[in-house]
Amino acid sequence: STGEEGTKLQKPRRSMLENSGFFKDDNSASPAKKTIEFKVGALVMLTSSINQRLGLVNGLTGHILAFTPRGIRVRFLGLIWPMFIEKHTFTSTIPGIGTCMRTQYPLRLAWAITHHRSQGKTLGNVVVDPRCFTQGQAYVALSRSPSLESLKLTWPAKATDFRVHPASLRFKELQEEGAPSETIQREVGHWRDLPVPGAPAGPSTIIPFGKFRGRTYEYVAKQTWYVKWVMAQEGPTKHLLRFQDFVVGRLRAAESAAETQAEELQEVEAEKLQEVEAKELQEVEVSG
């Protein structure tokens, strides 16, 4: 029946959602753990922007004052009044599969945070691990402390820890030279060329721009009207060029496949014709 068929289709999708990183506490894709443990006085961080008007944004830190039926009462750094934090529903959609959901307090312990999480904060009595794996990390971490007196290192900092992106250096050079913005964009690139945070993991065949951001090249290539628009763009960014190359390659592959299929059909027809001619010749020889 239709109902049974629908259930069969839903089972693999449900399994994919349940086994996704969203529900695994040790996975970076999980926005909230299934079980959390706090105590009064704990330093915590808000993990979702639940009310920007009140200043309750992702990354805000503070101390727990009390646990009440209304929620967890927290005094956040930079806000005048303590806030009640209620449970929040986190969601994550897997295109074509479904949506993961978990309801939990949007808080996590913040005694230790990553370099990225500390960006934009002014912190006192900071202990920093200066070892970094990407550009700008060391600067972000060390500049959180307002003075050297309140800064401690867990490891001696080396020159190799202070990495700078080549594009940043080139951008500064071009600005000092007084280059026009068009030249700078052409050489350094556009912000739209940057990878999208949270985009699905995998090869570089993910659209990082526009209406279909986060979709695969294969999916977008089927949207004829959008492909026509992309192919008509002049002076595109490197991501547009990459997608254009993919479309061209796809068309060439389709043409090649069509040619191969046509050749195979011609060979089959030639073989059949040969068989008919051989049979007719055999019949003539027998009758003769």
Percent of all residues in the chain with a pLDDT value above 90, rounded to a whole number: 15
- Do 15 and 80 fall within a single domain? yes
Q: How many domains is the chain built from?
A: 3
Does 148 share its domain with 58? no
pLDDT of amino acid 285: 60
> Looking at residue 200, what is its pLDDT?
47
Is 181 part of a structural domain of the chain? no
Q: Are residues 203 and 271 in the same domain?
A: yes
Backbone angles phi, psi at 74, to 5 degrees: -130, 135
Assess whether 203 and 259 both reside in one domain. Answer: yes
Please give the model's pTM, rounded to 2 decimal places: 0.53
Residue 188 has pLDDT above 80, yes or no: no
Least confident segment among 35-39, 181-185, 205-209: 205-209
| CATH code, domain carrying 17 | 2.30.30
Considering the domain architecture, whether residues 268 and 283 belong to the same structural domain is answered as yes
Q: Looking at the predicted structure, is the pLDDT value of residue 47 above 80?
A: yes
Is the confidence at residue 35, as pLDDT, over 80? yes
Please compute the mean of the pLDDT values over residues 211-222 and round it to a whole number. Answer: 76
Q: Which domain holds residue 153?
A: 115-161
Whether residue 262 lies inside any domain: the answer is: yes
Residue 173 lies in a domain: no
The residue ranking higher by pLDDT, 66 or 130, is: 66
| One domain, residues 28 and 100 | yes
pLDDT at 16: 81
Q: How confident is the model at residue 201 (pLDDT cuts 50, 70, 90)?
A: very low
Residue 199 in this model has a pLDDT that exceeds 90: no
**Of 109, 126, 147, which closes a domain?**
109
Which of 194-208, 236-250, 254-268 is the most confident on average? 236-250
pLDDT in tens, 121-150: 777 778 888 887 777 888 888 888 888 888
149 and 206 in one domain?
A: no
Structure tokens at 205: 């065949």
Residue 188 domain-assigned (yes or no): no
Residue 109: predicted pLDDT = 92
Answer yes or no: do 18 and 86 share one domain.
Answer: yes
